[in-house]
Structure 1
């Protein structure tokens, strides 16, 4: 067993390590975990079932209030049409999340999940962030465990890590004061894992956090993974500021560099020794840095992203077709593969 990276060592790597050396260390660790040299991705679609949200995160450009002219809740027919399009390109998963709607209760979500699971049993439902689950529980006057149990019974397979941002309450109090506390985010994932619902962990950096906050975030993920083993992957991306209130409030906030992204990604791969998969965020970083991430610890290119509305609202506009993904992976000497939500390989190329 390798000696675990300490918080102090991780901090030193973020601040002082040579970037090329960091890439070498992260690649070495990646190869220990994934010696077969496969880089995977999933064919899926983000379906944002509503943009109505009362949480008003300052870093978000996607949300609307109920009375806004462009506020929406998708009908089941509209959702079906999106899934039909996904099936036409061989998709296997929907990433299903929305704003935190102030009025939708557990029964609405049960009907929705059951409808999709019954009509499209071949589609995996990877949906509902911890903040959505927390609020469904509150508005329905039931426990988080009951929300998770009832949605799992209807066909929910796993939950995304969205809403983590930085797991530091002093950061969260600035960028999303109405959002759940860091410990609540962790506890909802703990409860999901104990019910047999796997999840992913995420991190959005580049707002007001310190290097120490980033390490604390990684520590919370690593600790919960030690406890439950329920995280399948870790995904991080930089704050996308266009059209957001946060950028209006802090106009001089520096745009995170590609160097910073690769540096943090490599440290995450080294620190999260118990999380099997690290995704590259080409959606926010672009195809070139998305590809470079494969030299800094990432073993997965995420999704072909047939549809994405949240970070694109804040200025990220990168798109990538399956053929381009195959090329980028082969170009770094690895074997491309399509996977499912559970990271099982479905097809190699």
Structure 2
């Protein structure tokens, strides 16, 4: 009875609180949550479009001092397979993206204190000069904080200089769970949740679009998942510029943390709750990269209206043994088979082409 009352309120446009959200996560019936989330998606996106972006993840370095226990990608600087990509290699990768009609570059790497702001300014200027039509959607809040510290600059100075050099928007990587007790157990050397939020609000203040993510299924409690969602909602209320929210599941392969990943049912429940709670974030992405194509289709009926990027290249999740791949044609087919119209978009959700 309580569940129906909460969902009726949500579908009527009311906001729910933490206790109500936790009740839905713990005791809510999966299909009831899915139906409510789907109705919200339909209300926010009545055109029946499911969008995607043609992009490439370029991991410019795998050297990282954070050494998160859930990560299989990072390497110590002394490791035989540690690397920093040359500017020529990065530009070649971007050229391949442009040749395939791509519009979004997502550059992310480890927290490598040897790479100071000059490295990024030089690289970003050259990217903007060579590929003016590409959206440079790069660097997580943790990376930006690392660059600021290594360069002995304030966050404000760092963001202003990166934007001037060609950084267009900031992805929400490194959020994991925005609860410091969880962060302290799985990524003790990474910034806390308040610093993550501070970077995002400062980027928004400079007019930069951002996104938000959540990695769940590692060691957090249901209460922590709910807290994460409400902290995203509150950051958005405080002036955030989140264009989308992307929940994805921890992948345990090859990691120090180990364990098992969340089930498909758990993923869909969290996805639906995300759509229900985040009434001020327009788009919810399904994570086909961690869930695969069939579950991504199901996610379109649990609140998701976007399938993220085609990802010409992805290395971080792949390092944990999860290597789903999808071409633009496969993405279009997947959307259409689910009964939706497929549309290619920009990073900021402008529709470029419908199929």
The TM-score bracket by the shorter chain reads over 0.9
The equivalent of 2:105 in structure 1 is 94
2:73 aligns with 62
Larger mean CA deviation between 289-298 and 13-22 belongs to 13-22
Q: Which residue of 2 aligns with 1:233?
A: 244
1:238 to partner: Cα distance = 0.5
Work out whether residues 62 and 82 of structure 2, in 8 Å CA contact, stay in contact via their aligned partners in 1.
yes
Q: CA deviation at 1:265?
A: 0.1
> Match of 2:216?
205
Q: Shift of residue 266 of structure 1?
A: 0.1
Q: 1:184 is matched with which residue?
A: 195
| 2:287 match | 281
Which structure 2 segments of 5+ residues have no match? Answer: 1-11
TM-score (norm 1): 0.97
Moved more, 94-103 or 264-273: 94-103
Among 269, 292, 301, the residue aligned to 2:298: 292
- Residue pairs, 1:16-35, within 5 angstroms: 16-35=27-46
Partner of 2:4: none
SS of the counterpart of 1:245? coil
Deviation at 1:294, TM superposition (A): 0.3
Q: Is the 8 A contact 2:252 2:260 kept in 1?
A: no
Any conservation in 1 of the 2:288–2:296 contact (CA below 8 Å)?
yes
How far has the Cα of 1:41 moved from its partner?
0.2
Following superposition, the deviation at residue 323 of structure 1 comes to 1.3
1:131 aligns with 2:142: yes
Alpha-carbon distance in 2 for matches of 1:311, 1:232: 22
Q: Secondary structure at the match of 2:225?
A: helix
Give me the whole-angstrom Cα distance separating, in 1, the residues matched to 2:339 and 2:18: 33
Aligned partner of 2:3 in structure 1 is: none
Q: In structure 2, how many angstroms separate the alpha carbons of the residues matched to 1:331 and 1:11?
A: 33
Q: Deviations over 1:86-117 (max 9, x none)?
A: 11110011101111112111111100111101
| 2-structure distance, mates of 1:335, 1:259 | 25
2-structure distance, mates of 1:122, 1:284: 29
What per-residue deviation string (whole Å, max 9, x for no partner) do you get for residues 32-69 of structure 1? Answer: 11111100000000000111111101000101111111
Cα pair distance change 1:319/1:337, threshold 3 Å: same
Q: How many residues align?
A: 344
Cα deviation per residue 1:147-176 (whole Å; 9 max; x = unaligned)?
Answer: 110011111110110000000110001000
Partner of 2:87: 76
Deviations 1:184-207 (A, max 9, x none): 101110111111111100000001
List runs of 5+ in structure 1 lacking aligned partners.
Answer: 248-252
CA distance in 1 between counterparts of 2:240 and 2:92 reads 35
1:52 to 48, 51, 63: 63
The equivalent residue for 2:8 is: none
> Of residues 294, 311, 315 in structure 2, which corresponds to 1:305?
311
Q: Which residue number in structure 1 is paired with residue 254 of structure 2?
A: 243
Return the alpha-carbon distance in structure 2 between the equivalents of residues 229 and 245 of structure 1. Answer: 34
Distance 2:151 2:255 in 1: 30
Q: Secondary structure at the match of 1:246?
A: coil
What is the DSSP-based 3-state SS (H/G/I as helix, E as strand, rest coil) of the residue aligned with 1:228?
coil
- Rounded to whole Å, the distance in 2 between the matches of 1:265 and 1:331 is 21
CA distance in 2 between partners of 1:255 and 1:198 (Å): 30
1:129-208 alignment runs, 5 A limit: 129-208=140-219
Q: CA deviation at 1:17?
A: 1.5
Q: CA offset at residue 255 of structure 1?
A: 2.7
